[in-house]
Amino acid sequence: MLNSSAGRDRRIALLLALFALLLYNANLREIAAGDTFPARFLPMAVLHSGTVYLDDLVEATRMGRLHPYWILPVRGGRFASVYPLVTPLLATPLYLPAVLYLDHHGWGDVEGVQKVGRVMEKIAASCIAAASVGLLFWLLRRQLSRGRALALAALFAFGTETWAISSQALWQHGTAELLIVVALLAVTGQPTMKGLLVAGLASGLVIANRPPDVPLAAAFAIYALFWARPPRALLFFAAAALPLALTVGYDVITFGNLSGGYGYIVQHGPGYAKFFSYPLGSGLVGELLSPGKGLFVYSPFLLFLPLYLRRSLTPSRRLLTVCLLVGMALQLVMYAKTDWRSGYSYGPRYLTDLVPILIWMLAPVVESLEDLAFGAFLTAGLFSIYVQLIGAFYYPGGGSDQLYYPEGEASTDLTNVWKPEDAAFVVELKAGPRHHFEFLDLRHQPR
């Protein structure tokens, strides 16, 4: 009977992931930015040229810009992505059909390569996001009834930035969500050798994929010391060290420093001396509650976690929950001191990586909600889905990015991000849906 139930859960997880994959692609376009362009083309370089450098595809990767910030000339006369390699390497196997297609039809047409890249970036991003949805349902079934696990996994899929950000382009956030779900699956099980190795590897990859996620990975590392206890916990740290060592080696060889492309930008990029100069208090309020970028505005069902946090601190999961709460608090403080508007993007993009943890913490809260409270939770969830749907089908036609950055991407004017009438889901809805089949429109330029 138990095996039959587990088999049913696996089928539901697969069907949920497939449904998410279908809906993520229903807008028939990608929603990308310069941050994602290197990840769009790097899998092609790996499969076609056998390299993680973009030398042979540099013209395509420029996307019409003379000096794009997303690629850098580095040692040896090569061109490298300014961003880490984990996300594009994870997406690489999915690009095999596209590379075979281009091998047959030729690589000389830059616009043709860009067109294929746009399609493949969206497919790869949506596959990664859909995989995280299926695995999250599996994780939630350890704590929730099947119906409520399905409801909460669906809210993760369609009521958070997983839809409007992670599934739409190869941001680092989609991979971060997937890795965090894998780490949660491991650390909520028994501290076997396999569990420790998987948790450690996933945590190390979280940092290698997106260095600002160090506080989240550190939370798993601290918990591992109690979960397995030394010396067995060393398996966790050995596994985590592997991707970090490879990343450091690549950064030193390529960029000549330990911090990679991020370090290069901080040292040489304009305006980065003021990167951490934003006020802490207003930053914390802004990233959680501002109409333009607030996490609890774009996904209000998540408010049930702070409202009922005590219910999440059950004895069996209290230590892990506390570790993760501290890690998330540190990351919130870090982002509050930066430009928490998170650049040209829809909603609270910077906080996307926290979402799987918040969903996991919500599980006992959701299980405890009775009729009226559960109805309110579902109502908030439906509004969250509505907000994210606008992001997927309408953004960026209404110009919300330009409202939040009135003087260009270096603008420090935060006025409009606090105005309810300038909330992106309000502004973008008024402008109407973006036209579909943008994959076929090569005149589309990066925003």
pLDDT digits (tens, 9 = 90+) for 153-211: 999 999 999 999 999 999 999 999 999 999 999 999 999 999 999 999 999 999 999 99
For 324, phi then psi, to 5°, come to -70, -35
**Cα 139 to Cα 152, 188, 241, distances in angstroms:** 11, 9, 25
Judged against a pLDDT cut of 50, whether residue 444 lies above it is answered with: no
The letter for the amino acid at 327 is G
The residue among 443 and 144 whose pLDDT is bigger is 144
Give the tens place of pLDDT for each residue, 6-44.
899 999 999 999 999 999 999 999 999 999 999 999 999
* DSSP 3-state percent helix, strand, coil across the chain (nearest 5): 70, 0, 25
> Confidence band (pLDDT; 50, 70, 90) for 445?
very low
What whole-number distance in Å separates Cα of residue 83 and Cα of residue 443? 26
Region at 130 (left for phi over 0; alpha for psi -120 to 50; beta for the rest): alpha
Q: What is the pLDDT of residues 320-355, one digit of tens each?
A: 999 999 999 999 999 999 999 999 999 999 999 999
Of the pLDDT bands very low, low, confident and very high (cuts 50, 70, 90), residue 3 is low
Two structure tokens written together for 287: 């990233």
Is residue 273 over pLDDT 60?
A: no
Average pLDDT over residues 247-273: 80
- pLDDT value of position 264: 73
Say what the pTM is. Answer: 0.95
The whole-angstrom distance between residue 46's C-alpha and the CA centroid of its chain comes to: 22
Pinpoint the alpha helices (H) of 159-233.
161, 172-187, 193-209, 214-227
Helical spans, DSSP H, in 228-300? 234-255, 260-268, 280-289, 295-298
What is the C-alpha separation between 350 and 378, in angstroms, rounded?
25
Q: Residue 230 has what pLDDT?
A: 86
CB atoms within 10 A of CB 200: 28
Mean pLDDT taken over the chain: 94
> Residue 259's pLDDT is what?
86
